[in-house]
Amino acid sequence: MITCDSIGAIGPKELDVISAEPAVVGRFLARVALMELISTGAELIALSCTFCVDSIASEQILEGVYVEAQTVYPDPQGITVLTTEKNFPTRQTGVGITCVGIARGNSLRVGLTQAGDIVVALGRPKVGIEVSLDDPENADLLKLMELLKIQGVRDITPAGSRGILYEAEAIARSSNLRLSLENTCENFLNESAGPATAVVFACTPEAYGVVEKRLQPLIFIGTLKSKEKMR
In CATH, what number is assigned to the domain containing residue 29? 3.30.1330.10
Q: Same structural domain for residues 140 and 172?
A: yes
Quickly list DSSP for 115-162. Answer: TT-EEEEEE----GGG--TT-TTS--HHHHHHHHTSTTEEEEEEE-TT
What is the 3-class SS of 166-206, one letter each residue? Answer: HHHHHHHHHCCEEEEECCCCHHHHCCCCCCCCEEEEEECHH
pTM: 0.94
Q: Same structural domain for residues 164 and 60?
A: no
Residue 167 lies in a domain: yes
Final residue before a domain boundary, out of 102, 130, 165? 102
Count of beta carbons in the 10 Å neighbourhood of residue 143: 18
Residue 180 lies in a domain: yes
In CATH, what number is assigned to the domain containing residue 194? 3.90.650.10
Q: Same structural domain for residues 91 and 130?
A: no
20: helix, coil or strand?
Answer: coil
Confidence of residue 139 (pLDDT cuts 50, 70, 90): very high
d(CA 60, CA 157): 29
Helices and strands: H and E segment counts in the chain: 7, 11
Does residue 102 register a pLDDT over 80?
yes
Q: Mean pLDDT throughout 185-196?
A: 88
d(CA 96, CA 22): 13
Q: Same structural domain for residues 7 and 56?
A: yes
Question: Which pLDDT does position 227 carry in this prediction?
Answer: 84
Query: How many structural domains compose the chain?
Result: 2
42 with 22: CB under 8 angstroms? no
Residue 218 lies in a domain: yes
Residue 112 lies in a domain: no
Confidence of residue 229 (pLDDT cuts 50, 70, 90): low
Q: Same structural domain for residues 125 and 214?
A: yes
Q: Same structural domain for residues 123 and 98?
A: no
Residue 109 lies in a domain: no
Pairing of strands 80-83, 43-51: parallel
Residue 111 lies in a domain: no
Confidence of residue 105 (pLDDT cuts 50, 70, 90): confident
**CA proximity to 28, closest of 102, 100, 128:** 128
Q: Mean pLDDT throughout 167-174?
A: 96
Final residue before a domain boundary, out of 48, 74, 102? 102
In this structure, the dihedral spanned by the alpha carbons of residues 109, 114, 116 and 118, taken in order and rounded to 10 degrees, is 20
List the domain range (segments joined by +) for residue 162.
Answer: 118-230
Final residue before a domain boundary, out of 70, 102, 134? 102
Residue 110 lies in a domain: no
Determine the angle formed by the axes of helices 55-69 and 22-38, rounding to 10 degrees.
40
Q: Same structural domain for residues 63 and 136?
A: no
Residue 189 lies in a domain: yes
Q: Same structural domain for residues 38 and 123?
A: no
Q: Same structural domain for residues 58 and 128?
A: no
Q: Same structural domain for residues 7 and 66?
A: yes
Q: Same structural domain for residues 90 and 9?
A: yes
Q: Same structural domain for residues 24 and 85?
A: yes
128 with 16: CB under 8 angstroms? no
Question: Which pLDDT does position 112 carry in this prediction?
Answer: 94
Residues 30-73: tens digit of each pLDDT: 999 999 999 999 999 999 999 999 999 999 999 999 999 999 99
